[in-house]
Amino acid sequence: MDVQRNLIATSASGTQTPPYHVSRRLLGALALASLTVDPGMAMAERLRQVAGTGGHDARETIAPWLPRHPSTDLAQSVASVLPDRSESIAIAVVHLVDGTGMALNADDVVPPASLFKLNILAETYRQIERNRVNLAQTITIMPEDAAPGAGILQDRVGEDVTVADALSLMIGISDNTAAFALLRTISSRKLNECTRLLGMLRTWFYVDERPDETSAGDVVTMLCALMEGAIASPTGTGQMLDLMTRVQPSAWIRPGLPPGTRVAHKSGQLDGVRNDAGIVFGATGPYALAVLTHDLDDPAVGERAITAVTRVVHRFFTGA
């Protein structure tokens, strides 16, 4: 396995393209916010201070993710803990302050599993920002929304749930019915438009029987957009991070972090698939991490790989 060969490299001109257009002032604010008690609301307050206005002029597009400083040392550390079948693992990581990062198979198209719920979260908040949806409005659970698997709403067809509660259930316990009810509310067309506007070029959500698609690089692109404030206002950004910071039943990034480390993430699983991705608020500033595993004979292999990768990445960035 040649991990170095799979690193995101410089452009053909030899210059490295910043993964997102974030000012140093904003990055400093993000780093400070990551050290506070409440990462979501503190992030929102820091973003508000940086913006210097109550308004919101988020860009409609964002450049796809690339680390400004690909690190061979980080890639080697990650490679040292990977199982033999590295082709079944896709990784993207970038430190949001200095741009250090690495990638392995990050452009591979893979199943998102419940990571698609991050995109529903993003588009819902985009519509909240535009007053098309509000957190207090109710959604009636329809028969077509009911989905097996995780959640509690599949047995509540005909009942009403607020958008706020649906979002909380979708992220907190990965409620599939809540996700489909929200998707019906925001529309799959708008969801796919959102992925393109955020620069997620390998992500697609289908309304038929075709499997959804994403990539580790796309997931980190979305996480960077969230932290940049390109999805929602400071208040909305804080609310999204708060939802993702809550403890989830399935979590493989969290066990790889020192106790008490704050992480805003979303996990996902299907047969042979284990994924986890999020923002880790480390002592040196926040970093985005996505580890997506697929075609697993033993799902525990993927779970252990996500935790092991998280552990070495965190040690590389923080020394802890």
Q: Using one digit for the tens of pLDDT, what is the confidence trace for 123-141? A: 999 999 999 999 999 999 9
* pLDDT tens digits, 48-96: 333 322 233 333 344 567 899 999 999 999 999 999 888 999 999 999 9
Q: Is residue 217 part of a domain?
A: yes
Alpha-carbon gap, residue 58 to 88, rounded angstroms: 36
More confident residue, 86 or 252: 252
Q: Is residue 7 part of a domain?
A: no
Q: What percent of the chain has pLDDT over 90?
A: 73
Tokens standing for residue 216: 């580790």
pLDDT at 64: 65
Round the average pLDDT of the chain to a whole number and report it.
83
Q: Residue 20 in contact with residue 3, Cβ under 8 Å?
A: no
Q: Is residue 298 part of a domain?
A: yes
Q: Is residue 5 part of a domain?
A: no
Q: Is residue 287 part of a domain?
A: yes
Tokens standing for residue 35: 């050290």
pLDDT at 94: 97
Q: Given a cut of 70, is residue 256 above it in pLDDT?
A: yes
Nearest to 195 by CA among 135, 265, 115, 270: 115
Q: Is residue 52 part of a domain?
A: yes
* pLDDT tens digits, 155-206: 899 999 999 999 999 999 999 999 999 999 999 999 999 999 999 999 999 9
Q: Which helix (H) or strand (E) holds 217?
A: helix 216-228
Residue numbers of the domain that contains 160:
17-318
pLDDT at 226: 96
- Residues with Cβ within 8 Å of 68's Cβ and at least 6 positions away in sequence, in order, are 16, 17, 18, 19, 98, 99, 100, 101
Alpha-carbon gap, residue 289 to 286, rounded angstroms: 10
* pLDDT tens digits, 161-175: 999 999 999 999 999
Q: Is residue 12 part of a domain?
A: no
Q: Helix or strand or coil: residue 152? A: coil
CATH number, position 256:
3.40.710.10
Our count of domains for the chain comes to: 1
Q: Is residue 33 part of a domain?
A: yes
N-to-C CA span, the chain:
27
